[in-house]
Amino acid sequence: MSSKISKPAASPWVETRLPFLASWRAHFTAPVLAPDAPYLGTLPTLITAALVFMAVSGFVLSIHYDPGQGFASLQFIDRDVNNGWLIHAFHETGTTMIFGAVYLSLFRIIYTRAYRAPGEMVWVLGVAQFALLLLVAWLGELLTDGAVSYWSLAGATQAAGNFAGLPGALGAWFFGGPDGPGTLARMAVFHAMLALAIFGIVALHYAARRAITPPAAGRVRVSFHPYYTAQYFVAFVIFALIFAVLVFFAPHLGENRLNLAPANPLAVPVAVTPSWYLLPIIDVAGAFPAPWGGTAAVIARLAVLFALPWLDRSNPAKPGGGLYRVLVVVLAVDLVLLGLVAGAGPSTATTVLTVVFTAYYFLHFLVLTPLVTAMEAK
Amino acid sequence: MAEAADTETMGHGVAVPARRDFLKILTIASGAIGAGALVWPFIDALNPDADEDAVARPIVNVGGIAENTALSVNWNGQPIFIRKLTAQQIADNQFIVPDTLPDPASYADRVKPGYETFVVVVGLNTGVPCEVIGNDPADARGPFDGWQCPCDGSVYDPLGRVRGGPAPRNLAIPRFTFLDDSQIQFG
């Protein structure tokens, strides 16, 4: 390794003006890392790789997608475009993979309490990335122009129209008036633009994580390549294997089946429920009175996540206690149940259960977390 | 030097690659094949689909074209003339020295080998861009029995070579291939 570091640059002219090699050596071949990072530590990198994959498949889809045709346009992609069905399935299942990794990553951070100082900025950026991903995923689902996504968009434009003042103006600016072909074209552009904006947050997230990574403590230190590239390679292969199985055997996993029919402005589907990854966050919107209830519920849900590092009253230097971990697992179960209930469609029972599970979600963050962690801190 | 350290000798002086070398090559090779198999659908998806391809590369039946007349088809938004030559027209134009023409081109340059009786040209005058006339024997074809431009009076021979008038170049030849005696495909 030392011989590699002292090797002179192939082109000193380029190297002095754009120090790629020095940067490469500092991050990849210099033995500065501790040798015991867990496999789940590869999740942010896997998410980033999946985002790049989504950008590429989204680019190919955008070449053939016509927002004026909507549903028919996707039929054209599936049936006529060379390998269009495959690219479409890649993009659809890629969303499932990203959200699977994001939810797992969020759970891991809450469970291990890595959000505590000095990890607050990493946590906040991670939640920001999650929030933007939710928005982009919802916009992408609208582009399918199916029976369900049509009414999801109609509901959103109506809700935006009900607001007065600044929120109403923002809604009109974003949606460009009532639902129609023009609105779908806007959603296509916002979907692509905001998806690219996620990469900006990804970059900030990486910088923030690097800033708080402690220097390797022990005597044994390893370089990123080949020590960690081998680990990342294994993680990537497992990720890609799951992805491939889902693409070829369950391309519509977690989708509302009703959305496979074309949009019909005259018939509201039985259940206007989004794909599984949006269920725990977005679907509370329906359970609260319009116009403010639903929007406020979604914003509040993300707000308590942002505030989590400051809701935890424990001493960051001390390890976490067992009771808190039990509560985190209960929270995960609560969210799964919330998703199941929301996906079951509207009825009196599901509305009541949605409110109960949502109430527990806020109870966990606003009451139980400060209480339990403050008890620990004593 | 590093390779020497990674190889073992089998006793009779022949170096065999170490197991690690083999695994490395196997990993890189299978990774490259996998990456290629993954990238190909993305590249292929940007190719035109079968519908667009059929429209862009139409097949035209030329078996029914009578001698001394031309069929006019529209391809890529341009008029394409497919003309069947008479023996007299071939004899008149076969042995003209190309250098004596305004835009030198031999008989062989203007037809496809094996299908020498067919001339396929873009029917737009190369001077003032007008559609030239002369597909029908009754048309005013000019002194060379080919085509004539109704706008600037440029004169072409049956091979589509310019013979007189303001036009500087011969009639353009579109991209096409003969599938058999009676079918040509454009594009």
| Spatial contact of A274 and A256, defined as CB atoms under 8 Å apart | yes
A93 is a domain residue: yes
Does the pLDDT value for residue A2 go beyond 50?
Answer: no
Chain A residue numbers touching B50 (CB-CB < 8 A): 80
Does A348 lie in the same domain as A283? yes
Query: What are the tens digits of pLDDT across the range B30-71?
Result: 999 999 999 999 999 999 999 888 889 999 999 999 999 999
A317 is a domain residue: yes
User: What average pLDDT score do residues A43-66 get?
Assistant: 96
Q: What are B12's two structure tokens?
A: 């009779």
A63–B50 CB contact, under 8 Å = no
Angle value at C-alpha B59, between B55 and B60, nearest 5 degrees: 125
**Total number of domains constituting chain A:** 2
Does the pLDDT value for residue A287 go beyond 70?
Answer: no
* Nearest chain B CA: its distance from A202 CA (Å): 24
Residues 23-82 of A with CB under 8 A from B: 56-57, 60, 63-64, 80-82
B81 is a domain residue: yes
Does A341 lie in the same domain as A313? yes
Domain that holds residue A215: 27-269
* Nearest chain A CA: its distance from B79 CA (Å): 29
| pLDDT class of A172 with cuts at 50, 70, 90 | confident
Q: Which residues, 6 or more positions from A76, have their beta carbon under 8 angstroms from its beta carbon? A: A64, A69, A84
pTM of the model: 0.86
Does the pLDDT value for residue B2 go beyond 90?
Answer: no
Does B152 lie in the same domain as B82? yes
CATH code for the domain of A249: 1.20.810.10
DSSP secondary structure string for all residues of A33-100: B-S---GGGGHHHHHHHHHHHHHHHHHHHHHH--TTTTHHHHHHHHHTSTTHHHHHHHHHHHHHHHHH
| pLDDT class of B83 with cuts at 50, 70, 90 | very high
Does A190 lie in the same domain as A97? yes
B166 is a domain residue: yes
| The domain boundary residue, chosen from A210, A238, A269 | A269
pLDDT of residue A97: 96
Does B79 lie in the same domain as B152? yes
B50 is a domain residue: no
pLDDT of residue A321: 77
| pLDDT class of A8 with cuts at 50, 70, 90 | low
Does the pLDDT value for residue B4 go beyond 50?
Answer: no
Does B72 lie in the same domain as B142? yes
| The domain boundary residue, chosen from A247, A269, A291 | A269
Chain B residue numbers touching A83 (CB-CB < 8 A): 41-42, 44-45
A20 is a domain residue: no
Does A115 lie in the same domain as A61? yes
pLDDT of residue A35: 85
Does A75 lie in the same domain as A168? yes
| The domain boundary residue, chosen from A269, A288, A323 | A269
B73 is a domain residue: yes
Does A182 lie in the same domain as A38? yes
| Spatial contact of A27 and A34, defined as CB atoms under 8 Å apart | no
Instruction: Name the average pLDDT for chain A.
Output: 88
Q: How many helices and strands in chain B, by DSSP H and E?
A: 5, 11
Does A221 lie in the same domain as A113? yes
ipTM of the complex: 0.83
Query: What are the tens digits of pLDDT across the range B114-152?
Result: 999 999 999 999 989 899 999 998 988 889 999 999 999
Higher-scoring residue by pLDDT: A208, A378: A208
Chain A residue numbers touching B42 (CB-CB < 8 A): 56-57, 60, 83, 87
pLDDT of residue B15: 67
pLDDT of residue A285: 61
DSSP secondary structure string for all residues of B104-139: ---HHHHSBTTBTTEEEEE-B-SSS--B-B-SSTTS
Does B99 lie in the same domain as B18? no
Does the pLDDT value for residue A309 go beyond 90?
Answer: yes
Domain that holds residue B23: 2-45
* DSSP-derived 3-state class of residue B80: strand
Query: What are the tens digits of pLDDT across the range B151-175?
Result: 999 999 999 999 988 999 999 999 9
Does A145 lie in the same domain as A93? yes
Does the pLDDT value for residue A247 go beyond 90?
Answer: yes
| pLDDT class of B3 with cuts at 50, 70, 90 | very low
Is A84 part of the contact surface with chain B (CB cutoff 8 Å)? yes
Does A79 lie in the same domain as A216? yes
Does A135 lie in the same domain as A115? yes
B109 is a domain residue: yes
Does the pLDDT value for residue A291 go beyond 90?
Answer: no
User: For a pLDDT cut of 90, what percent of chain A falls above it?
Assistant: 52
Query: What are the tens digits of pLDDT across the range A107-165?
Result: 999 999 999 988 999 999 999 999 999 999 999 999 999 999 998 888 888 888 888 88
**Total number of domains constituting chain B:** 2
User: What average pLDDT score do residues A254-273 get?
Assistant: 88
Does the pLDDT value for residue B178 go beyond 60?
Answer: yes
CATH code for the domain of B118: 2.102.10.10
A5 is a domain residue: no
Does B70 lie in the same domain as B26? no
Does A174 lie in the same domain as A104? yes
Buried-exposed string A256-292: b where 16+ CB fall within 10 A, e elsewhere: bebbeeebeeeeebebbbbbbbbbbbbbbbbbbeebe
| pLDDT class of A286 with cuts at 50, 70, 90 | low
B51 is a domain residue: no
A9 is a domain residue: no
Does A320 lie in the same domain as A250? no
A17 is a domain residue: no
Q: What are A281's two structure tokens?
A: 């966050």
Q: Is B161 exposed, middle or buried (0-12, 13-18, 19+ CB in 10 A)?
A: buried
A86–B41 CB contact, under 8 Å = yes
User: What average pLDDT score do residues A193-219 get?
Assistant: 91
Does B137 lie in the same domain as B112? yes
Facing B41 at nearest CB: one of A63, A80, A83: A83
Higher-scoring residue by pLDDT: A78, A156: A78
